[in-house]
Amino acid sequence: MTSEPLADWRAGLPWPGEETHKHARGRLGVVSGKATQTGAARLAARGGLRIGAGVVRIFCPPDAAGVIAPAIEAVMLAPFTSAEALTQAAQGLDAAVIGPAAGVSEATMANVGALAVTGAALIVDADGLTSFTEWPEDLFDLLDRDDVLTPHEGEFKRLFPGLLEQGREAAAAEAARRAGAVVVLKGPATVIAAPDGRIAINDNGVPWLATAGSGDVLAGMIGGLVAQRMDSFDAARAAVWMHAEAARGFGPGLIAEDLPERLPAVLAALYAQAG
């Protein structure tokens, strides 16, 4: 673990300039599950869009298209029928989120591999992690330092058995080294670790985030910042902090759908500070 002071992630936030266009702000993809499990992908896509990605597209099985299409507006939709088709459809992406309600299956494993060959930075969450429980090295072989894994403790234990016995910080640091990617170990004090030894602990966690779907929004937020070419470790730190700040601003009664709608206020405050 590094002992050097970490740079403030605020300095790296990707604010648009006067000449910026939507494609310059990054292209984010989110893979959806089947027709009965589309909400998680829509939450992730909304989080990515609200945090500034210029173009966001949901990739889905054909049977899910009719469910998703009436529920989205600025987010685009692209059905796909196989891992090979996903690779083709995802060409040109800057980042891709896979895992939220994707299904724990060999198909999800194949879809992670399909996205890995596109060159997009991967944010692997939820079912995208659990699908590799028996074959974690297969997942790690697909990753590079720009990719991000976002496990809660249960998912972390499945991918990295025994590591949490070292404590959360040491476990996250070792997991990032093994995976060769950024690891976001979620919890009341979320730990963010990079494969180069950088590590950070989020200091503004709030209990209102203990609600279904909040992690899906976080995955989309990280993806949205990475799509804008923010350093993946800093993007994860920034998204985790903003995620908690959005929840703090809403308070009791928060549900996951509220989080993206609170982001403009959080971003506005950060923009005012940057000016």
Q: How confident is the model at residue 38 (pLDDT cuts 50, 70, 90)?
A: very high
Q: What is the mean pLDDT of the chain?
A: 96
Examine the pLDDT at 37 and tell me if it is beyond 60: yes
Tell whether 269 is covered by a domain.
yes
Q: How far apart are CA 101 and CA 33, in angstroms?
A: 5
Q: How confident is the model at residue 76 (pLDDT cuts 50, 70, 90)?
A: very high
Report the predicted TM-score, pTM, of the whole model to 2 decimal places.
Answer: 0.97
Range 164-180 average pLDDT = 98
Q: What's the per-residue H, E or C state across 169-183?
A: HHHHHHHHHHHCCEE
Range 243-247 average pLDDT = 98
Tell whether 10 is covered by a domain.
no
Q: What is the reported pLDDT for 269?
A: 97
Q: What is the reported pLDDT for 3?
A: 43
Q: How confident is the model at residue 7 (pLDDT cuts 50, 70, 90)?
A: confident
Range 60-81 average pLDDT = 98
Tell whether 13 is covered by a domain.
no
Q: What is the reported pLDDT for 2?
A: 47
Percent of the chain at pLDDT exceeding 90 = 96
Tell whether 40 is covered by a domain.
yes
Examine the pLDDT at 268 and tell me if it is beyond 60: yes
Q: How far apart are CA 251 and CA 245, in angstroms?
A: 10
Tell whether 43 is covered by a domain.
yes
> What CATH number is associated with residue 181?
3.40.1190.20
Tell whether 14 is covered by a domain.
no
Domain that holds residue 41: 24-274
Nearest to 40 by CA among 105, 147, 126, 149: 126
Q: How confident is the model at residue 4 (pLDDT cuts 50, 70, 90)?
A: low
Span 193-211, pLDDT tens digits: 999 999 999 999 999 999 9
Q: What is the reported pLDDT for 275?
A: 75
Percent of the chain at pLDDT exceeding 70 = 98
Determine how many CB atoms are found less than 10 A away from the CB of residue 245: 18
Cα angle for residues 31, 37, 38 (degrees, 5° grid):
50
Q: What is the reported pLDDT for 5?
A: 67
Number of domains in the chain: 1
Tell whether 5 is covered by a domain.
no
Span 181-191, pLDDT tens digits: 999 999 999 99
Tell whether 4 is covered by a domain.
no
